[in-house]
Structure 1
Amino acid sequence: KYQRAATCLTKDREALLAFYDFPADHWDHLRTSNPIESVFVTVRHRTVRTKGALSQKTARLMVYKLVQAAAKGWRRLKGANQLPMVTEGVKFTDGVIDAKNRAA
């Protein structure tokens, strides 16, 4: 009945399921872009209120300090101990280390 939709899903299957190639602890963080958005909202809100910066140097300093202040409210990454494995290319299946990689 929905041939075009089925074709699109079949074609993009690998990209759609790439989510499961990461540790299960990281899934909450992968599902949201809120940390990125919240930082830029803070910066945009404050820079508009200041009516422009005096120079590029002061603008950079202000943005740096705003991001630094916003970072205090960020929550810690779950599964941070698994980040080195992810960057080394260790394979995960359904959020769990593959049996082949576990012995290594």
Structure 2
Amino acid sequence: MLEKDRELLLAFYDFPAEHWIHIRTTNPIESSFATIRHRTTRTKNCVSRNTLLGLVFQLALTAEKSWRKIRGFKRLPDVIEGIRFQDGIAIKTEPEKTEETQQMAA
């Protein structure tokens, strides 16, 4: 099974090296939902749907304050633009030559 899914398991290497630690962990999601789950189970049957949504929103805002900032945030535009990375390093690709650019070069 590991051999079959090797490409998918190692996909995080196709991103900047600074982002690897953030891609490989689910801790921010798990810790945020643990806080929300803890509070909502304590207040079960005491609130309406609207007040519960407000409570969850406020808990999420509070949890957000303790999150670490993403490392390498300056590399995000490169990822968004679709620049390819191999082993965490940006790959410089040559622009494709079209007929028009070949004629201009001649």
Same fold judged by TM-score > 0.5? Answer: yes
SS of the equivalent of 2:10 reads helix
The CA RMSD measured in Å over matched residues stands at 1.5
- Identity value in percent: 53
Cα distance, 1:26 vs structure 2? 0.3
Query: How far apart, in 1, do the equivalents of 2:41 and 2:28 lie?
Result: 20
Within 5 Å, give how 1:58-73 maps onto structure 2.
58-73=51-66
Within 5 Å, give how 1:41-80 maps onto structure 2.
41-80=34-73
Q: Normalising by structure 2, what TM-score?
A: 0.81
Which structure has the bigger radius of gyration? 2
- Give the gaps of 5 or more residues in structure 2: 95-106
Matched pairs, number: 94
Cα distance, 1:37 vs structure 2? 0.2
Question: Going by fraction, where is helix more abundant, 1 or 2?
Answer: 1
Cα distance, 1:96 vs structure 2? 0.6
Query: How far apart, in 2, do the equivalents of 1:82 and 1:57 lie?
Result: 39
Aligned to 1:83: 76
Cα distance, 1:25 vs structure 2? 0.1
Structure 1 residue ranges, 4+ long, deviating more than 3 angstroms after superposition: none
Q: Normalising by structure 1, what TM-score?
A: 0.82
